[in-house]
Amino acid sequence: MDAKQRIDQLRAELHRHNYNYYVLNAPEIPDKAFDDLMRELQDLEAAHPEYMDPNSPTQRVGSDLSKNFTQVAHKYPMLSLGNTYSESEVADFYERVRRGLEGEDFEICCELKYDGTSISLTYEDGRLVQAVTRGDGVQGDVVTDNVKTIRTIPLVLHGDYPPSFEIRGEILMPWESFEALNREREAREEPLFANPRNAASGTLKSQNSAVVAARKLDAYLYYLLGEDLPGDGHYENLQAARAWGFKISEHMRKARTLQDIYDYIHYWDTERKNLPVATDGIVLKVNSLRQQRSLGYTAKSPRWAIAYKFQAERARTRLNEVTYQVGRTGAVTPVANLDPVQLSGTVVRRASLHNADIIEGLDLHLGDMVYVEKGGEIIPKITGVDTEARDGSLGEKVRFISRCPECGTPLVRYEGEAAHYCPNDTACPPQLKGKIEHFISRRAMDIDGLGPETVDLLYQKGLIRDVSDLYKLRVEDLKGRERMGLKTAENIISGIAASRAVPFERVLFALGIRFVGETVAKKLARAFGSIDALRRADMQALTDVDEIGDRIAQSITAYFANPLNRALVERLEQAGLQFSRTEEDMAGQTDRLAGQTVVISGVFARHSRDEYKALIEKHGGKNTGSISAKTSFILAGDNMGPAKLEKARKLGVRIVGEDDFLQMIDES
Ligand code: IVH
């Protein structure tokens, strides 16, 4: 078998296993075997770039290239549905359809209304060619590369599909992925997503498809459009689409009577809580396409379909107290303590009040009867006060605290931010513990065996006050403490010892300087080479570094201006941590591309895109995703897109081939 044949065979097999695994939930082979096939294909494709196929199963991993989304007009506009909130409105819809069809028999297809972000997929000859967001309904963003990373969306179809059609559906982030994502974001001090819908649409618009690939999105498809669909039934056509490889909800049902529809609504009103994804209602559609056409459309929505929205669940209960939590960054969050109340299957005792403005806006008083809602959010929130229930006996007005509940330091509010902060970042206990947790986390010092609980324990026992204390711990300090045997204790101590080898850039990130995330830490490590040089850098020197602005620079100077921080760094230096870049880090680095901005485009023979990106950075250049007047040159492989070529020509940007580039940086 020649390479091309093997590549085709592997692609077909991987498409099939992918479908079995992600759509049918019924894998036929172990994960390891799948990975092996994938690796074989990746290797073959790398060796034979001439057989590159944008729909290959390998293309689901995403790339680091930034994308500027282009917009296209929808072939068929993406309309929305009329909403109803009561059974009587559903009855009105049913009656309108009956009259519109002049007494003809009809079926209604009942479906779940998925609460994500809608997408329109175009397939030509069984291959996904384009994915477009709803946008304004008339035109949307082309997000094909991002959508390709979603495993439940088939890139290549099987069976008897029409040569050309569109299929629409909802892209969703399952609750589980959503919660995991928010936990990660919290740990990295990034703003949380309020609900899975925002997380899904935010992710889909990400500039980096590798991020999309990592976020575990899912998709349900519920609407086929095209000239030559298999039959006249919406329901039946979707069953056929399932056989082509699409993920179609198993919960669609056909109803004949109004009572059938009510039964469906009642069932899902409670049962939806057990689904892995968010839903916010039921969609009712006339099943026959012929009847759909005869009913037609109003200006905004079809006459043949309607949405029934579930009531947002709300409970009424008493506000007893407002307490305040201090996070690792010092941000203070007000929390309402409530009389326990049943809401969406759980007992709610606490609800977030977010910030001082929200409290003020609600005009909260202790003892108030308040409304709590869960909606799509994970943390319940207070949405209103039952002022009628106050009957003259108004409790004490809730006023945001002015001092930190943990350490008593007066709180501050930074310009443009809603939150209050405790500025005492060198002595406030939750901030200290949070700093240690950040320091040991995987992306920072990555200390094996040490987790938040152990940190809490060691902190309480007075064994650690700051991260430098970790390096003084001995096995004897740990063993015999709660849940800690000799083996565990030894593991922790050796994990701490091993962290002395962690490179400077990660040590810098681990210090937890405000606004110095992983990327910034890398940039700083590169630009200054050592903590001494960084400590001495003034605002000018700092902001001279690419992408370091005033906000970050100020935070760094403030950090080193504090003698406590300087002393901590000194203790860590004495403990043997890496506070400068090693020879190894710097080996082979040059300034050959200093000041140059390079766009990578096309398919390459000698190195992968990621390798080229690393080479650009190693030689002091910067890789960006889109061509602009600032682009110094384009590193172009084969098959560079026509739009990019055109843009390059317009702006007069130089195009450099792979071999010339390697010569330029002297790595050929
Ligand atoms: S059908 C013309 N079916 O709800 C009818 N929509 O307001 C096209 N949605 O934008 C939509 N689940 O994002 C349909 N089973 C379902 C749905 C559904 C969720 C969303 C969709 C649409 C919005 C309608």
Percent of the chain with pLDDT over 90: 52
Dist. CA 389–CA 323, nearest whole Å: 23
Range in 135-139, 245-249, 305-309 the model is least confident about: 135-139
Please enumerate in sequence order all residues whose Cβ is within 8 A of that of 628, keeping only pairs 6 or more positions apart, or say none: 651
Dist. CA 360–CA 626, nearest whole Å: 45
pLDDT at 164 over 90: yes
State residue 375's pLDDT score.
61
Residue nearest to atom 21 of ligand 1 (CA): 118
Pocket probe mutation, ligand 1, options 81, 84, 272, 306, max atoms within 8 Å of Cβ: 81
State residue 423's pLDDT score.
92
State residue 194's pLDDT score.
72
Q: Report pLDDT digits (tens) over 86-128.
A: 899 999 999 999 999 998 999 999 999 999 999 999 999 999 9
State residue 61's pLDDT score.
63
State residue 107's pLDDT score.
97
pLDDT band at 302 (very low <50, low <70, confident <90, very high): very high
Residue nearest to atom 6 of ligand 1 (CA): 113
With H, G, I as helix, E, B as strand and everything else as coil, classify residue 86.
coil
Average pLDDT of the chain, as a whole number: 89
Tell the residue number behind the tokens 């960084």, with chain if given: 534
Which of ligand 1's atoms lies nearest the C-alpha of 223? Answer: 1
Residue nearest to atom 15 of ligand 1 (CA): 113
113 is known as an active-site residue: yes
Which of ligand 1's atoms lies nearest the C-alpha of 115? Answer: 19
- Selected catalytic residue, list 67, 113, 148, 644: 113
Q: Report pLDDT digits (tens) over 239-261.
A: 999 999 999 999 999 999 999 99
More confident residue, 441 or 170: 170
Q: Report pLDDT digits (tens) over 174-194.
A: 999 998 888 888 776 667 787
Joined tokens for residue 565: 């921080």
pLDDT at 651 over 50: yes
308 CA → ligand 1 middle, Å: 11
- Burial tier of 297 (Cβ tally within 10 Å: 0-12, 13-18, 19+): middle
Pocket probe mutation, ligand 1, options 84, 114, 136, max atoms within 8 Å of Cβ: 114
Q: Report pLDDT digits (tens) over 41-76.
A: 988 888 888 888 888 888 876 554 445 688 899 999
Q: Report pLDDT digits (tens) over 613-625.
A: 878 877 878 878 7
Instruction: Report yes or no on whether pTM surpasses 0.75.
Output: no
State residue 64's pLDDT score.
44
State residue 507's pLDDT score.
96
Dist. CA 503–CA 464, nearest whole Å: 23
State residue 65's pLDDT score.
47
CB 291 within 8 A of CB 234: no
Q: What is the mean predicted confidence (pLDDT) over 376-398? A: 82
State residue 618's pLDDT score.
79
Which of ligand 1's atoms lies nearest the C-alpha of 249? Answer: 15
Which of ligand 1's atoms lies nearest the C-alpha of 111? Answer: 15
Pocket probe mutation, ligand 1, options 74, 80, 84, max atoms within 8 Å of Cβ: 80
Pocket probe mutation, ligand 1, options 170, 218, 247, max atoms within 8 Å of Cβ: 170
135 CA → ligand 1 middle, Å: 14
State residue 10's pLDDT score.
93
Which of ligand 1's atoms lies nearest the C-alpha of 302? Answer: 2
Which of ligand 1's atoms lies nearest the C-alpha of 116? Answer: 13
248 CA → ligand 1 middle, Å: 14
Q: Which conformational region is residue 246 in: left (phi greater than 0), alpha (psi within -120 to 50 degrees), or beta?
A: beta
More confident residue, 264 or 393: 264
With H, G, I as helix, E, B as strand and everything else as coil, classify residue 663.
helix
Task: Count CA atoms closer than 13 A to 664's CA, side-chain side.
Answer: 21
pLDDT at 29 over 90: no
pLDDT at 668 over 80: no
- Give the dihedral of Cα atoms 17, 20, 22, 28; nearest 10 deg: -70
300 CA → ligand 1 middle, Å: 13
pLDDT at 448 over 60: yes
Range in 49-63, 446-460, 633-647 the model is least confident about: 49-63
CB 220 within 8 A of CB 248: yes
Measured over the CA atoms of residue 199, residue 201, residue 203 and residue 206, the dihedral's sign is negative
- Give the dihedral of Cα atoms 446, 176, 56, 625; nearest 10 deg: -60
pLDDT at 533 over 60: yes
Ligand 1 shell residues, CB under 6 Å: 79-81, 111, 113-114, 118, 170, 222-223, 283, 302, 305, 307
With H, G, I as helix, E, B as strand and everything else as coil, classify residue 563.
helix
pLDDT band at 592 (very low <50, low <70, confident <90, very high): confident
70 CA → ligand 1 middle, Å: 24
